[in-house]
Amino acid sequence: MPKRIAAFGEVMMRLQVPGYDLLSQGNTLKYSFSGTGVNVVSALARYGHQGKLITRLPENALGDAAEAYLRKLWIDTSLVQRHGKYMGLYFLENGFGARPSRVTYTNRLESSFNTAPQDVYDYEALAAEIDALHFCGIALAMNNGVRQHIKALAKAVKQRGGTVIFDCNYRPSLWGDNGYVKAKPHYEEILELSDIVMMNEQDALYTLGMDTTKERREDQLEELLPQVAERYQISVIAGTHRSIHSSNEHSLRGFLLRGGQFTYSDMLTFSVYDRIGAGDAYASGIIHGTLEGFAAEKTVRFAAAAAMLAHTVSGDTPMASEPEVLRAMTASAGDVER
Amino acid sequence: MPKRIAAFGEVMMRLQVPGYDLLSQGNTLKYSFSGTGVNVVSALARYGHQGKLITRLPENALGDAAEAYLRKLWIDTSLVQRHGKYMGLYFLENGFGARPSRVTYTNRLESSFNTAPQDVYDYEALAAEIDALHFCGIALAMNNGVRQHIKALAKAVKQRGGTVIFDCNYRPSLWGDNGYVKAKPHYEEILELSDIVMMNEQDALYTLGMDTTKERREDQLEELLPQVAERYQISVIAGTHRSIHSSNEHSLRGFLLRGGQFTYSDMLTFSVYDRIGAGDAYASGIIHGTLEGFAAEKTVRFAAAAAMLAHTVSGDTPMASEPEVLRAMTASAGDVER
Amino acid sequence: MPKRIAAFGEVMMRLQVPGYDLLSQGNTLKYSFSGTGVNVVSALARYGHQGKLITRLPENALGDAAEAYLRKLWIDTSLVQRHGKYMGLYFLENGFGARPSRVTYTNRLESSFNTAPQDVYDYEALAAEIDALHFCGIALAMNNGVRQHIKALAKAVKQRGGTVIFDCNYRPSLWGDNGYVKAKPHYEEILELSDIVMMNEQDALYTLGMDTTKERREDQLEELLPQVAERYQISVIAGTHRSIHSSNEHSLRGFLLRGGQFTYSDMLTFSVYDRIGAGDAYASGIIHGTLEGFAAEKTVRFAAAAAMLAHTVSGDTPMASEPEVLRAMTASAGDVER
Amino acid sequence: MPKRIAAFGEVMMRLQVPGYDLLSQGNTLKYSFSGTGVNVVSALARYGHQGKLITRLPENALGDAAEAYLRKLWIDTSLVQRHGKYMGLYFLENGFGARPSRVTYTNRLESSFNTAPQDVYDYEALAAEIDALHFCGIALAMNNGVRQHIKALAKAVKQRGGTVIFDCNYRPSLWGDNGYVKAKPHYEEILELSDIVMMNEQDALYTLGMDTTKERREDQLEELLPQVAERYQISVIAGTHRSIHSSNEHSLRGFLLRGGQFTYSDMLTFSVYDRIGAGDAYASGIIHGTLEGFAAEKTVRFAAAAAMLAHTVSGDTPMASEPEVLRAMTASAGDVER
Amino acid sequence: MPKRIAAFGEVMMRLQVPGYDLLSQGNTLKYSFSGTGVNVVSALARYGHQGKLITRLPENALGDAAEAYLRKLWIDTSLVQRHGKYMGLYFLENGFGARPSRVTYTNRLESSFNTAPQDVYDYEALAAEIDALHFCGIALAMNNGVRQHIKALAKAVKQRGGTVIFDCNYRPSLWGDNGYVKAKPHYEEILELSDIVMMNEQDALYTLGMDTTKERREDQLEELLPQVAERYQISVIAGTHRSIHSSNEHSLRGFLLRGGQFTYSDMLTFSVYDRIGAGDAYASGIIHGTLEGFAAEKTVRFAAAAAMLAHTVSGDTPMASEPEVLRAMTASAGDVER
Amino acid sequence: MPKRIAAFGEVMMRLQVPGYDLLSQGNTLKYSFSGTGVNVVSALARYGHQGKLITRLPENALGDAAEAYLRKLWIDTSLVQRHGKYMGLYFLENGFGARPSRVTYTNRLESSFNTAPQDVYDYEALAAEIDALHFCGIALAMNNGVRQHIKALAKAVKQRGGTVIFDCNYRPSLWGDNGYVKAKPHYEEILELSDIVMMNEQDALYTLGMDTTKERREDQLEELLPQVAERYQISVIAGTHRSIHSSNEHSLRGFLLRGGQFTYSDMLTFSVYDRIGAGDAYASGIIHGTLEGFAAEKTVRFAAAAAMLAHTVSGDTPMASEPEVLRAMTASAGDVER
C-alpha cells in the first residue's frame, strides 16, 4: 500500500562539467537539483508512494528552477517553502579511470534551508500529513537551527506513530575538527528516535565510538550493529560494502539487519556511469521493501539492484521504476529492448 | 566487379537521446535515418558496388531530410519514390552496463512505405536495373500490401537471373500473437525464391517449425541449416552467434554454409559503442564476399570483422571501407593512426 | 480565489531543429511537450490556479517523458491516463525573416488520446473535480470519438455549474475538404455549451457561415461577434488581431466582448522569438482575468501582455508569472534586472 | 527541361564558430563544405537539373567527409577526382550589428584542386557529359595550372555547343599587388568564351579597366555593361547592387542585361542570417531562368528572391526549392506554415 | 607608452543559460569569469598595456578555472592571491525584446575576496608595481574590510605618484536600506583620492546628495559635474547616457569632462547582443585615451566605440583590439571581412 | 627551485570530432592548441616552473586564439612571435575499441613557424632568458630552416651552461622515403648537444642505425642505450614501453638511465580516455624530477604516473598538478573526492 513519505533536507544545485573535462578546460555545465532527501523520495515516488519534500528554497529564479525540477522528479512540492535568496551549489568534475571525480562546494550555510528561523515549520501539521520521515547526517551536520528542526520534527512524527528513517551519512568535512566528538550526542539523540537506520560498522566505530577486536569489516559489522539495534531500539539497520576496481567498475554488497538477523545480497559487480546518489537508491530500496513488507532477502536484493541501476544513469537521482529494479534483480546484461 | 544491388525496405528516422540520458531526463535528440536495407546497401556502396534503395518517402521536410541523408550514405536514390506524409520513427535510449538500451517506436504502419498502393512499383523495370535484391523479415511482417510487393519484386528479379537475398530477421513484436504461425507460409514462399539467406538455428526451429534433439546451439545449427538449404535450394546461408558480457563487451562468431560446408570465423570479443545495425554489417560482408567470389573463409572473416567494426561507430549504418575491414581482420587493437 | 481548471486535449511532442537550420541540414532536435490545453493550464497554474489536464498518454518511455515534462510545467497530472503506445509529434523548423517557420506533423490520429475508447473517461467524476473546463477546435477536428468525449464532458461540467471555455482555433488542414461544412454543426453544438469563447470575425464568417457587408476586420468583428454572443448565450468572447512585419516583429491587439461591450488593448509591437503558443497565452490571460473578476480593460491588457511575453520565450508554453505580466503591462523595454 | 550543369572549382571546408563568439572565446566549430561551384550546382540540382562538380578532393578522411557532404547537397560527384592530401579551409567568425563577420583562410594553394597536374582532366570527355559549365574568378586567381584547366575546359565545352558561365567575382586579396593588371588578360580571354556572365560596373571599371564619366553606380552600369556584352559577344550579363543597413538588414536589387535590354528586380530589404553564398544563389537563379527560358523579368525576380532566401539559411549553400523561391517572389513575411 | 595598470576587485563566475531559455527551462549553463576590474584591465591589456588584477581566488578547482580564464583574457595574474574556498557567482538569463534579462546572485559576501583579512595585501609593494589603480563602487559596497583595503591601496598609489581611477557604479541592492546615506562618506573619501572618475549626474544627485533645479539630464550633468571635479580635484570625469529601444537596440552617448570642458561623442545606435560589461569597455576607452594622451574628442569617441563593440560580443569582457575600435569609430556597418 | 624552461616548437590546432563520430558523420569539431613543446612546458608550469614557448604564430584570428589558449595553459608567451598567415592543423577522429583513432593533417610546412626566415630569432638573447631548452624530433623533421634554428639555439643554450632536452620522437611520415638515412646526421648532431634525451631502443636501432643480437625489447634497451649515453655524453635517457589491450586499456612502464643505471617504474595498466600527448607528460615528469633533483626511482615513478593521468584527461596537454601526480603514484582508483 502506497505510503506518504517526506524527506526533510536541503536541495542542492549540481553543476557538472560535461564529459570528462575539468572546470579549467570546459565552458559549459549541466545542471540539475538533488540532495539525499530528493533522491530518496523521488525513488519512492517512482515505486508508487507519495514522495514529499520538506525544505526551503529561495524566492527567485533558482528556486523556481529547483521546484520545477523536483516536480519533474515526481516529488510532491506542496510542503516546500519559498523564502530567502540562496541555495547550496556543488560543482562536479567527472573522473576517469585512475583520475577520481572531484566535487567543489559553494558556501551552503547561507542557504534558505540552512538559515530557516525557529518558527517556520509547523511540526505537528507536517507530521499529520506523512506516514514516514527521512533525513540524514548531512543535514544534521549543518548547524543548531537545522538540528533543532530535525529533532522536533522526528519527535512529532514518532508521537503520531509514524516511521522515522535516518541515514547516518557522516561527512568529515562538514563536522570539522573533532567532528566525531561533536557529532556523537546528536547521532545518539537521533538514533533514539529512529526506526530504520542506514549505517555500517564505520559509523558504529567512529561516530558512536564503539569498540571491537575484529579486523574484517564483515566481522565488525556483525558484532557491532546488533548492539546498536538493541541499544537504540531500531527495527531495521541496513547498508552496503563497496569496493572500487580499475576500469570504472565497482562491486557492492548490501546487508540488512532485521529482527536480529543479517541478510546479504549477492556481491554485484558493474560498470559505473554516475556514482553520486547510488547510496540513496539503496536506502530507497530498503525503505520500500520495509514499508511494503517484502521478505528480508527480497528487500536487500531489491535495494542492491536499485543501487546498481543508479550507477548507470546520469544525475544523482535514481530513475528506475519498480519493474525495472525487479528485472535487474534477475537478469544478466541484456541486448537492446525493442 | 561492382554489382548493382537494391534493397527493398523502409527508411526509419532514428531519434537518439545523446549520451546515456533517458527520454525523461534529456531535452535533445540526435537524428539519423536508417533501416536494414539502408544499412546493407550503404555498406555495399562503400565496398564499391552501386547501392540503390527501393522505397517510398513522404513528400515533405522529413522526406527531404531522409533522402539527403541517404545520399550522404552513398546510396543511389534514383529509385526512391516520394509520396504521402508519414514515415516510421524510433526513439533510442542508450543503455549502460547493467541497464539495457531501450527502443520506442511510433506507429510505422501509416508510413509512405507501408501504405504504398498496389500499382506503384514497376517490378519488371526495377528488376532490369539491378543485379541483386535484398529485403528482410521486418518488411515481411508489415502487412499484405508490402508482402505482395516483396514477392512480386523477388520473382521479377529471379526471372531475370538476378540474385535474391533474404535476411530472416524475425521480430516477435511485429507479428503479434501466434506470430510464428502467421509468418511461416510467407517465410517459406520467400525462401523458395532466395539465393542468399541470413538466418540461424532459431529461425529454423521457431519460424519454420523444424525439430531437433540437439541441445547446443552449434549442434542445432549444423543439423538444421543444411536441411533448409536443401529444401529451398539456397546456395548461401549465413549468420552469427552473439554473447553479451558485462562491461559493454560482446562476443560474436560468424558462420557460413555454402556448398554443404560450414565455415566459421574466430570468436571475436570487443567493446560495443553502438550495437544497432551490426547484423546488417555482417550481412553486407557476406553479400560482398559472395558477389566478389571470396573464398568461404575470407568471406566469413570479412563479414565478422565488418560486424565488429559496426559496433564501434555511432548510428545504425556501417561506415567502414573495404581496406578498413581487411585491416581489422588481421590487426590487434592499434595505436593512433597518424 | 484560485480555481480548479482542467483542459481536455492532446499532448504533442515538439521536435525543433535548433537555431535556424532545416531538418535536412541539422542532426539534433530539441524536444518538449505541449498542446493548447497544456499551454493554457500551465499558464493558469503559474497565475496561482490548480491546472489539470485530462488526456491519455502512452504507457512507455515517451509517455513517461511527457508526464514528467507536464509536471515540470506545474500541471497537476492526477487526471492523466496512461494507455496505448503512440503520441502525436510535430517537427518545427524555425523560419528567419523572409523564410517562414515550417511545421511537419506525424500521424496523430493513432495517438493514445485520439483512440481513447468510449468508456474511459468518467465524465461525472471528472466534472466533480473541476471548476472550469477548457478545450479547443483542434481536438474537435480529430474524430467522432474525441468529439463525443468533449461534448459529454462539457455537458457534465455545465450541469454542475462549472464554466465551459472553448477556443475555436479552426485548422483547415485538419478538417480537410469542405471543412467548414463538416465543422459547423459541431461548433454550434459546442458554442451552446460555452461560457467563454476565443474567436474572431473569421470564425464567425467561415465556420459559422455568417454574413456581413463590412470590409474592415474591426467592423466585421463589431458586427458579428455580438450576434454570436447573443445567439449562443456566451458571456465572454475574446481574441486578437495580429499583423506580421519584416525583421521578426509582430503587432497584436486584443479584444474582449463582455456584457455587450467591446474593450481593446493597445496595439503592441514587439520582437518575436518563438511564436507558437502565444495565442494560448492570450486565452489564459482572458480566463484568469474573468475568473478573478478583473475589470474588462485590465483583463484584455493582461491577456495581451501575456501573449506578448509568450513570443519572447522558447517553447510553446507561456512561462510568465502574474507579477511579470503585470510589469510588462506598464513597462517599456528595460535594462538588465539585477 | 533539366540540363546537365557542371561547375569547375574548389571545395573549401568552412569552419564556423557557433553563435557570435570569436575564435579566441569558443571551443567548438561547426563545419560544412562549400565553394562557388558547390553552391551554384547544388542550387541548380534543387531546381531539377543535374548538378555536377569537376574538382579534386584529397584521398583521406577530409575528402571522404567533403564528398559525402556534396552528395547530401544533391550534387552528382561522379566527376570528382580523389587525389592528394590537402584541401582549403576557412574559419568564419559571425559578426553582429556593428561588428563585421571575419573570415580567416588557411593556405589553399597546396590543395588537391590547386595542385592538379596538367593531364588529369580529360577536357573532351568532360565536355561530352555536360550542357553547361560554370566557374568563377576565384579559381581564376589561383595559379597558372588552374587557369590552364579552366581555359581548356571552357574551350572544349564551347566547341561542343555547350554554354559557358563565368562569375567575375574578383577578390583583391587573391591577386595581390597590381592585381587588376595581372587579372585583366585572363578575364578577357575568359569573357571571349563566355555566354552568361555575372558582373557589375565595378568589374568593368577595375578589372577590365574601362572608363566612364558617370557617377551613380546605376548609370555606370547602364553605360558600361552593354559595351562589355557587345565586345565579348555575351548573351546574358547579370548581377546585384547591395546596401547594408544597421540591425542586420541588407537591401539588394538584381539586374539582367539580355538582348541589349536591362531588367531590374524590386529592391528587396530583409534580415540577414548568413550572408555568405548569397551571390551564388543569385547566379543560380539567373542560370536557371536562362536555361529554362523564363522571361527576363521572371528571371531577375526569381534570382533576387533566391538570393534573399539564401541570406536566411545557415551555411554557404542555398537550400530553397523552386516552389519556395516562387512563393518568396510574391509573398510578404508569413506566419508559421502548418 | 604602455602602462602597468592594476584593478583591485572581485572576480565573479558568470553562469549563463544559453540562448533565451529560462533557468527553469534549460539544463546547461555557459560559464566564464568576470568583474568590473577584470573587464577593465583585460581591455587595457588588449590595447597594449600591462593589465594586472589584485584579488583573492579560492584555492580549489573553481579558483584554478578562474585564474586560467583570466590569463586567457591577457590579464597578468602575478598579483592574484589564492586562499579560501568560495567565490561569488551569478546566473544570467538573457532577455529578449520585451522580456528583460535577469541576474540572480549567490551569496558573494563569503568569497575569498570579500573575507580577506586585514594584513594580506602589502599596499606599498603593490603600489610599487603599478602606474595606475582601478576599483569601483561595487567593491566599495561589500564590507568594511574591503573598503579598508581599497582606501589603503589607493593612498599608497597616490603617494607614489600613481593614478587612481574610480568608477562610481552605485548598486542600490548592495547598499540596502538608506544606501545613499551609508555610501556617501565612503564615496567622498574615495573621490578625494581619485584622478579619473566614471560617474554621471545621478551619482552626483543621489550618492553625493547634490542639488539642481535643472530637469534635463544633460543640463544636470553640465551643472553638477564641474562642481564635483573642482571639489575633489578630479582631472577626468566621464560617463554615458543610454536609452533602450525595442527590437534589442540601444543608443549611447559618451561624455568627458576634462580641464573644465565637456566633450561628447556622437549618439551611437546599435543592436545589442550582450549588454553586460559594456560600461567597463567605455571606462577602459577613457583610461586608455587619458593614459596615452589622446585628444578629448578622440578619447570620448574611442570610448564610445569600444562600448558599442562590447555590446556585440558575448561575455562581460570587451574583446576588441585598438585597431578594431579605431575602425568602428569611422566605419558604417560592413560586409564580411575576408 | 623553479626553473625557466623554454620549448622551441610548433603550435598546432587540434580539431577533434566530438565523441566517436567520423568526420563524415558529424558536423561539429572541438578545437584546442597543442604541440610537443606546448604540452611539456605547460606541464612544467603546473609543477611550478616558468614554462615559456619559443615559436611563431600567425598574425590573425587563429594566432590570437592560439596565444590566448597557451596563456590559459599557464604558458608564458612573452617569447612568442606573431607573423605570417598560417598554422598547422590536424583533425582527430577518436577510435573506439577495435577501431583505431585517426589523425589527418593539413599542410603544416607553410605555417608561420616552419617558414620563419633565418634572422628572426636572437639565439643569444633567448638563451639568456632560460635555464633549459626543449625540442623534439618532429620539429627536426620539418625543413632545413627549422633545423638550423634548433641547432643554433641549442648551441647558444649549451654555451651559457643551460640544459638541452631532446625528445627523439621519430615520425616516419614526416621524413618520407629513406627517412632514417636522412634523419641520422641531424639526430647525431643534436644528441651531441643534449643533456636529457627521450628515446627507446627503436630510436637506437633505426634512427641511429645501431645493432643488437638481443630480441626482447627490454634486452635491446639495456644493451643499446648505455652505448648511446656514453657516445654522446648524455646524462639522462628516459622513455616508456607501452602495450595496448582491447577494451580501451593500455599498459605502460617507464625507464630511466642515469649514471649508467637503469631504473624502472611499475607496469601501470589503466583505462584510456585521450591518448595523445601522454608521452609529453612522461617527458615532463622526467624533466621535473631531474631539475628538482628527485631520486631516480621517484623520478621515473612520477613520470609514469603523470603519463597515466594524461591518458585520463581530454586534450593533448597534461592537466595534473604536482600533488595530483604524487597522489596517483600511491593511490589505487578512488571514490569521489568531496
Q: For residue C27, give the nearest of B23, B24, B31 by CB distance.
A: B31
Instruction: Check if E72 contacts F (Cβ < 8 Å).
Output: yes
Residue B232 β-bridge partners:
none
Tell which of C107, C111, C317 to mutate to test the B interface (max B CBs under 10 Å). Answer: C107
Question: Are E321 and F61 spatial neighbours (Cβ–Cβ below 8 Å)?
Answer: no
Q: How confident is the model at residue B84 (pLDDT cuts 50, 70, 90)?
A: very high
Task: Give the pLDDT confidence score for residue B319 in this predicted structure.
Answer: 95
% pLDDT > 70, chain E: 97
Are A301 and A265 a contacting pair, CB within 8 Å? yes
Burial degree of C4 (CB within 10 A; 0-12, 13-18, 19+): middle
pLDDT tens, position by position, E268-316: 999 899 989 999 999 999 999 999 999 999 999 999 999 999 999 999 9
Which residues have CB under 8 Å from B18's CB, separation 6+?
A: B26, B28, B29, B30, C28
Q: How confident is the model at residue D249 (pLDDT cuts 50, 70, 90)?
A: confident
Mean pLDDT of chain E: 95
Closest CA to B25 of A62, E16, A64, A318: A318
CATH class assigned to F1-116: alpha beta
Angle between helix axes B61-72 and D61-72 (nearest 10 degrees) is 150
Task: State in Å, rounded, how far the first CA of chain B is from the last one.
Answer: 32
The C-alpha atoms of residue F20 and residue A25 are separated, in whole angstroms, by: 20
Per the listing, cell 617569447 goes with F79
Q: Structural domain boundaries of chain C?
A: 235-330
| CA atoms lying within 13 Å on the CB side of residue D154 | 24
| C-alpha–C-alpha distance, residues B33 and B67, integer Å | 9
Cβ atoms of B263 and B296 within 8 Å: the answer is yes
**List of residues 6+ apart from C28 with CB closer than 8 A:** B18, B28, B29, B30, B31, C17, C18
A336 touches B at CB < 8 Å? yes
The C-alpha cell 524475425 sits at B170
Report the C-alpha gap between C47 and A70 in whole angstroms. Answer: 19
Q: Which residues of F touch A244 (CB under 8 A)?
A: 332-335
* Rounded-to-integer distance, Cα B98 and Cα B104, Å: 19
CA distance B314 to chain E (A): 24
- D21/F contact by beta carbon, under 8 A: no
Cβ-defined contact of F273 to A20 (cutoff 8 Å) = yes
Complex-level ipTM: 0.93
At E332, the pLDDT band (50, 70, 90 cuts) reads low
Q: Inform me whether the C-beta atom of residue B85 falls under 8 Å from chain D C-beta atoms.
A: no
Cα B110 from chain centre: 22
Q: For residue F203, which amino acid is it?
A: D
Closest by alpha carbon to E66, among E107, E29, E11, E16? E11
- Consecutive H or E run containing C158: helix C144-159
Contacts of A104 in chain E (CB under 8 A): 60-62
Give residue F48's identity as a one-letter amino acid code.
G
Closest alpha carbon to A25 in D197, F69, B291, D170: F69
Which whole-number Å values give the CA distances from D236 to B211, D233, F213, in the listed order?
A: 77, 9, 78
Contacts of F320 in chain A (CB under 8 A): 99
| DSSP code per residue over F139-150 | HHTS-HHHHHHH
Q: What is the DSSP letter of E203?
A: I
| Residues of chain A contacting residue C74, judged by C-beta atoms under 8 Å apart | 68, 71
DSSP designation for E250: E
Q: What is the largest CA-CA distance in chain F?
A: 55
Put simply, whether A72 touches C (Cβ < 8 Å) is yes
CB F36 within 8 A of CB F69: no
Distance CA E290, CA E283 (A): 11
Give the largest CA-CA distance in chain E.
55
Q: pLDDT value at position C335?
A: 63
Residues of chain A with Cβ-Cβ distance to D27 below 8 Å are: 26-27
Of the residues E22, E27, E28, E29, the best mutation for testing chain B's interface (the one with the most B CB atoms within 10 Å of its CB) is E27
Distance, CA of A328 to CA of A268 (rounded, Å): 11
- Taking residue A330's Cβ as centre, other Cβ atoms within 10 Å add up to 8
- Residue D277's nearest CA partner among D269, D285, D288 is D285
Q: Give the integer Cα–Cα distance in Å for C35 and A302.
A: 38
List CB contacts (< 8 A) between E61 and chain F.
none
- Percent of chain F whose pLDDT exceeds 70: 97
DSSP one-letter code for E88: -
Q: How far apart are CA F173 and CA D108, in angstroms?
A: 21
Which pLDDT does position F267 carry in this prediction?
Answer: 94
Of B253, B254, B250, B266, give the one whose Cα is nearest residue B311.
Answer: B250
Q: What is the pLDDT of residues C262-297, one digit of tens each?
A: 999 999 999 899 989 999 999 999 999 999 999 999
Q: Taking CB atoms and an 8 Å limit, are E68 and A28 in contact across chains?
A: no
**Yes or no, beta carbons of B25 and A314 under 8 Å apart:** yes
Q: Are A117 and A145 in contact (CB under 8 A)?
A: yes
Q: What is the mean pLDDT of chain B?
A: 95
Average pLDDT of span A28-54: 98
* CB nearest C86 (choices: B29, B64, B107): B107
The model carries a pTM of 0.94
Residue D331's pLDDT band, with cuts at 50, 70 and 90, is: low
Best of E96, E175, E243 to disrupt the C interface by mutation (most C CBs within 10 Å)? E96
C-alpha distance across the termini of chain C, in Å: 32
Return the C-alpha cell found at A52: 514529499
Task: Using a CB–CB cutoff of 8 Å, tell me whether E102 touches chain A.
Answer: yes
Candidates B106, B76, B90; CA nearest to B35 is B90
Low-confidence residues of chain C, pLDDT below 70? 246, 331-338
Q: Do residues F77 and F70 make contact, with C-beta atoms less than 8 angstroms apart?
A: yes
CA atoms within 13 A on the CB side of D159: 12
D246 CB near a chain C CB, below 8 Å? Answer: no
Whether C11 and C55 have beta carbons less than 8 Å apart is answered as: yes
**Chain E nearest C-alpha distance from B95 (Å):** 21
Dihedral class, residue C82 (left if φ above 0, else alpha if ψ from -120 to 50, else beta): beta
Average pLDDT over residues E239-262: 91
Instruction: State whether residue E105 sits within 8 Å of chain A by CB.
Output: yes
Our measurement of the distance from residue A44's CA atom to the centroid of its chain's CA atoms, rounded to an integer in Å, reads 12
- Hey, of E12, E30, E31, E32, which one would you mutate to test binding to chain A, going by the most A CBs within 10 A of its CB? E31
Name chain F's partners: 3 or more CB pairs within 8 A. A, B, C, D, E
CA B163 to the chain's CA centroid: 16
3-state class of B324 per DSSP?
helix
Residues 6+ apart with CB under 8 A from B277: B34, B39, B310, B315, B316, B317, B318
User: C-chain residues within 8 Å CB-CB of F27?
Assistant: 26-27
Sign of the four-CA dihedral D304, D306, D310, D315: negative
**How many other C-beta atoms are found inside a 10 Å radius of the C-beta of residue E284?**
32
- Report, as an integer, the average pLDDT of B10-16: 98
The pLDDT value recorded for residue F331 is 63
Helices (H), chain F: 36-46, 61-72, 123-128, 137-140, 144-159, 172-175, 179-193, 201-202, 217-232, 278-292, 296-310, 322-330
User: What is the distance in angstroms between the CA of the first residue and the CA of the last residue of chain D?
Assistant: 32
To the nearest whole Å, the CA of B83 is away from the closest chain D CA by 17
Q: Which residues contact E178 (CB under 8 A, 6 or more apart)?
A: none
Cell 606541464, residue located: F43
Choose among E272, E213, E201: nearest CA to E241. E201
Is residue F22 within 8 Å of residue F93, measured between CB atoms? yes
Q: Report pLDDT digits (tens) over A191-241.
A: 999 999 999 999 999 999 999 999 999 999 999 999 999 999 999 999 999
d(CA C238, CA F243): 75
DSSP assignment string, A154-215: HHHHHHTT-EEEEE----HHHH-TTHHHHHHHHHHHHHHH-SEEE--HHIIIIIS-------
Give dist(CA F222, CA B312) in Å, integer: 39
pLDDT tens digit string along D71-118? 999 999 999 999 999 999 999 999 998 899 999 999 899 999 999 999
Is D246 close to E313, i.e. CB distance below 8 A?
Answer: no
CB E335 to CB D275 under 8 A? Answer: yes
Cell of D49: 537539373
pLDDT at F335 over 80: no
Cβ neighbours of F73 in E, within 8 Å: 68
Which letter, b or e, does each residue of D160-177 get, where b requires 16 or more Cβ atoms within 10 Å of its Cβ? eebbbbbbbbbeeebbee
Quickly state the pLDDT bin for E97 (edges 50, 70, 90): confident
Dist CA C289 CA C297 (whole Å): 10
pLDDT the model gives residue C73? 98
Q: What is the dihedral of CA B251, B257, B262, B266, to 10 degrees?
A: -20
Contact B61 C110 (CB under 8 A): no
Which of C71, C75, C317 is best to mutate for the A interface (most A CBs within 10 A)? C71
Please write the tens of the pLDDT for every residue from D51-76.
999 999 999 999 999 999 999 999 99
- The predicted-structure confidence for C178-228, as pLDDT tens digits, reads as follows 999 999 999 999 999 999 999 999 999 999 999 999 999 999 999 999 999
In a 10 Å sphere around its CB, with 0-12 CB exposed, 13-18 middle and 19+ buried, how is residue A213 labelled?
A: exposed
> F5 or F245: whose pLDDT is higher?
F5
